Structure 1
Amino acid sequence: MKEQPDLPADVALMWGLQAVTRRGPKPSLSVEDITRAAIGIADAEGLSAVSMARVAERLGNSTMALYRHVKSKDELLVLMSDAALERPQPLPDGIDWRTGLVFWSHGVMTAVRAHRWYAQLPISGPPAGPNNLAWLDSALGALKDTGLTEEGKVGVVMGLMTYVQGEMRLSSDLAAGYADNPDAFSRYGATLARVVDPRQLPALAAALAAGVFDDSASSFTDDSDADFDFGLQLYLDGVAGFIARMTG
């Protein structure tokens, strides 16, 4: 039988499968304690406030005590990225694939909005933690009756994850920019009117003349779902065409 490779250290931590080699009394700290404390700091003060020293202080331990469980801040961020994304709600019974993926997508956005810092986390690899994989499984389950191959289902879900992640991060960045300088957003249409030459940028000039950017400031909040839903439906229209082509 082929020997199975060792799990990456961060994956083993997220699943509670790290090797235990210590002797003596049970440690007073756990990976879960450390991750929970880090999330509490990020919720209260933002992701930039999280450090091993701050987490140790919050827990009343030395920084070295943390390093016995979590080797680095990068490893801690991976743990936070999974723990903060709570398990998905079960898909409602009897719904079609499209309704299921809409339900799933809004569930992801609700989960990450509970932690405003989530969109700032680096993406260091594909989903591998228990919570992230539960979300992946849920989305794949929405496609179970479509007739798609397993490869096709994974492709659809990975594309949807790319869209949701992109919207989450873009809306978070724009909301932060709006908070810092709302005038730049409220004046966006007027600014374009001053610099857009219809001879050079005819398509943009047409959108500007149609008033598309007249109220641009109203959409720059990460709690507004109108733009998110518009793009989501466009993506799902493409998925519908893909399903018809693959199964027709």
Structure 2
Amino acid sequence: MKRGRKPTIDAADITRTAIAIADAEGLAAVSMARVAQEMGNATMALYRHVKSKDELLALMWDEAMEDPPPLPDGEWRDKLGFWAKAVLAAIRRRPWFLQIPVSGPPSGPRNLAWFDRALTALDDTPLEPGEKVGVVMGLSTFVQGEARLSVTLASGFEQDPGQFGHRYGQRLRQIVDPRRMPALAEVIAAGVFDLDDVQDVGDLDADFDFGLRLFLEGVAAHIGGRA
């Protein structure tokens, strides 16, 4: 039996190196050539294990989430709320995760583990399997949307902190015509945007909690109708 030389690298090594680059310098710094350089290998050697950069990004998308934490005791609402905040925390640790294009449903082992954990939270509900999937997918969309908003705002804040101060409310008063946008004008007049720092992390977390509560209350109403 002919013995081949044992490979010195594999897809997992390549993925971990790419993630380390993205963590340090952002997703734009990741390329097959750069990963090969960091690993001390020829670029073509990587293609024997990872066929393309798109495949590498897919591997990074799965690996970046790490393993989901165990769910706490309690009812389904507590468990799903905990899961949603854990997803948000995982994305915030690696904001470049949101820049990876997603071309299909979750299929990697880590993303499927997160999916399974959320479905488990709904075990004691009367929802049909398809409804459980719909709830989890809807919640995942909400969390990733909120994460994207917070990351985008953070980036904008770094570039121009002034636009996030109380001047924002003043500028809206100048722009918004109450006759054309009466509902928005009413909110502005109430002082909702008169904040010292629109980018305050506590405010972002409070907004997330509010949206999460509304989502879960909607699910609870649907479950109540099913019961």
Same fold (TM > 0.5) = yes
Contact 2:164–2:199 (Cα < 8 Å) also in 1: no
- For residue 92 of structure 1, the aligned residue among 50, 68, 72 is 72
Match of 1:10 in 2: none
Match of 1:213 in 2: 193
Match of 2:19 in 1: 39
Contact 2:57–2:100 (Cα < 8 Å) also in 1: yes
- For residue 225 of structure 1, the aligned residue among 200, 205, 208 is 205
- For residue 43 of structure 2, the aligned residue among 44, 53, 63 is 63
Tell me, in whole angstroms, the C-alpha distance in 2 between the residues paired with 1:92 and 1:196. 46
Amino acid at match of 2:160: N
Tell me, in whole angstroms, the C-alpha distance in 1 between the residues paired with 2:88 and 2:203. 9
Contact 1:174–1:221 (Cα < 8 Å) also in 2: no
Match of 1:27 in 2: 7
Amino acid at match of 2:179: R
Match of 2:82 in 1: 103
CA displacement at 1:241 relative to structure 2: 0.6
Amino acid at match of 2:84: S
Runs (4+) of structure 1 moved beyond 4 Å?
Answer: 220-223
CA displacement at 1:83 relative to structure 2: 0.5
Equivalent position SS for 1:217: coil
Contact 1:146–1:243 (Cα < 8 Å) also in 2: yes
Contact 2:153–2:199 (Cα < 8 Å) also in 1: no
Q: CA RMSD in A?
A: 1.7
Match of 2:144 in 1: 165
Contact 1:120–1:169 (Cα < 8 Å) also in 2: no
Higher mean displacement: 162-171 or 116-125: 116-125
Contact 1:171–1:222 (Cα < 8 Å) also in 2: no
Match of 1:143 in 2: 122
CA displacement at 1:218 relative to structure 2: 3.2
- For residue 53 of structure 2, the aligned residue among 70, 73, 86 is 73
Equivalent position SS for 2:4: coil
CA displacement at 1:50 relative to structure 2: 0.5
Contact 2:154–2:199 (Cα < 8 Å) also in 1: no
Describe the shift of the 1:218–1:164 C-alpha distance in structure 2 as closer, same or farther (beyond 3 A). Answer: same
Describe the shift of the 1:237–1:216 C-alpha distance in structure 2 as closer, same or farther (beyond 3 A). Answer: farther
Any unmatched runs of 5+ in structure 1?
A: 1-22
Tell me, in whole angstroms, the C-alpha distance in 2 between the residues paired with 1:180 and 1:232. 29
CA displacement at 1:171 relative to structure 2: 1.3
- For residue 188 of structure 1, the aligned residue among 153, 157, 168 is 168
CA displacement at 1:224 relative to structure 2: 3.6
Contact 1:172–1:222 (Cα < 8 Å) also in 2: no
Equivalent position SS for 2:137: helix
The structure that is helix-richer by fraction is 2
Amino acid at match of 2:46: L
Match of 1:241 in 2: 221
Tell me, in whole angstroms, the C-alpha distance in 1 between the residues paired with 2:196 and 2:9. 49
Whether 2:177 is the aligned partner of 1:197: answer yes
- For residue 31 of structure 2, the aligned residue among 51, 55, 58 is 51
Tell me, in whole angstroms, the C-alpha distance in 2 between the residues paired with 1:222 and 1:42. 27
Tell me, in whole angstroms, the C-alpha distance in 2 between the residues paired with 1:111 and 1:59. 26
CA displacement at 1:217 relative to structure 2: 3.1
Tell me, in whole angstroms, the C-alpha distance in 1 between the residues paired with 2:41 and 2:72. 44
Tell me, in whole angstroms, the C-alpha distance in 1 between the residues paired with 2:22 and 2:131. 37
Contact 2:119–2:136 (Cα < 8 Å) also in 1: yes
Any unmatched runs of 5+ in structure 2?
A: none
Tell me, in whole angstroms, the C-alpha distance in 1 between the residues paired with 2:39 and 2:84. 35
The alignment covers a number of residue pairs equal to 225
Equivalent position SS for 1:218: coil
Tell me, in whole angstroms, the C-alpha distance in 2 between the residues paired with 1:52 and 1:182. 35
TM-score (norm: length of structure 1): 0.87
Contact 2:36–2:42 (Cα < 8 Å) also in 1: yes
